[in-house]
Structure 1
C-alpha cells in the first residue's frame, strides 16, 4: 500500500483550516470590536470545522484531502473512521504538537507516514488512486442483503 507524502498531508491540513476560518476572518475585517456578527460568524466557523474535519474527514475526505486527492481510513481494513474517531484524531493531534511539533514531522521518517495521532487511532492517509478494500467499492452491499435493498 502506498502512503501519502508529508507535504501533501500538510497542504491538506492547511487548506482545511484556511477554508473553515474564512467566515471568522471576514467578521474580524468587517468589525474588529467583537460584536454579535463576530460571534455569529464564529459559530459558522465552528460548524464548518465540524462538517469538514469531523464529518467529511470521518467519511475519508475533508475538503483539503479531496483537493489533494488523498483518503483517510482505518489502518486495518481500509474503512472510513467515522465522525467520532475523526474528532478523537484531531484531539490527539495535540500530542503531535507537544514535543516541538515532532509528531507532525513524524511522517517524514515513519514507514506508514503516520503522526502520533494516526498511531493512536490506527489510521493512515493514502493517495486516492490507491485501491481501497472491496467493502468500500461504490456498489458494496451488506452480506445477505438483496441487490437494490435499502
Structure 2
C-alpha cells in the first residue's frame, strides 16, 4: 500500500484548517471582545457557527467519504485499514476525537507517521485508519 508521507498529511491538515481559521478570524475581527457596539456581538457567533459547520462538513462528512478538501487537494484518501473503504461520518468523527491522544502527549502522536511503518498517528492506530495516496 502506498501510504501518504508526513509532509503531505500536514499540508492536507493546513488546507483543511485555513477556511475555519479565516471564518473564526473574521468573526473575531468584526465582533470580538473589544467591539464597542454590543449589537454586532452576535456576528461573532454567526462566524463561529459557520466555522463549525465547515469543519463538520469537511472533516467528518467529506473526510468520512474518503477525502476532505485538503486530502483531495494533496491527492490522499482516508480509509479503514482492514477493508480499504472510507471510514464514514462516525469513523471520521471518532478519529478526530482520538487526536486528543496525539495532542496530550505533547503532540508526539502527530509525529508518529515520521517513523511508523504504516505512517499512522496514534489516532489512526486507535481507529484502524490509514491515509494513503489516492
Instruction: Normalising by structure 2, report the TM-score.
Output: 0.91
Residue matched to 2:28 = 28
Which 4+ runs in 1 deviate beyond 6 A?
Answer: none
CA offsets 1:58-87 (integer angstroms, 9 cap, x no match) = 001101101111000000121010001100
Distance in 2 of aligned mates of 1:19 and 1:114: 25
Any stretches of 5+ residues in structure 2 without a counterpart? Answer: 36-40
* Offset at residue 100 of structure 1 (A): 1.4
Residue matched to 2:124 = 118
* Offset at residue 21 of structure 1 (A): 2.4
* Offset at residue 99 of structure 1 (A): 1.4
* Offset at residue 47 of structure 1 (A): 0.5
Residue matched to 1:58 = 64
Residue matched to 1:43 = 49
- Counterpart among 95, 110, 122 of residue 89 in structure 1: 95
Any stretches of 5+ residues in structure 1 without a counterpart? Answer: 129-150
Q: Tell whether the 8 Å contact from 2:31 to 2:42 is kept in structure 1 after alignment.
A: no
Higher helix fraction (1 or 2)? 2
Residue matched to 2:14 = 14
CA offsets 1:82-136 (integer angstroms, 9 cap, x no match) = 00110000000010011111100000000000000000100000111xxxxxxxx
Name the stretch that deviates more: 73-82 or 27-36. 27-36
Q: Aligned pair count?
A: 128
Name the stretch that deviates more: 25-34 or 8-17. 25-34
Structure showing greater radius of gyration is 1
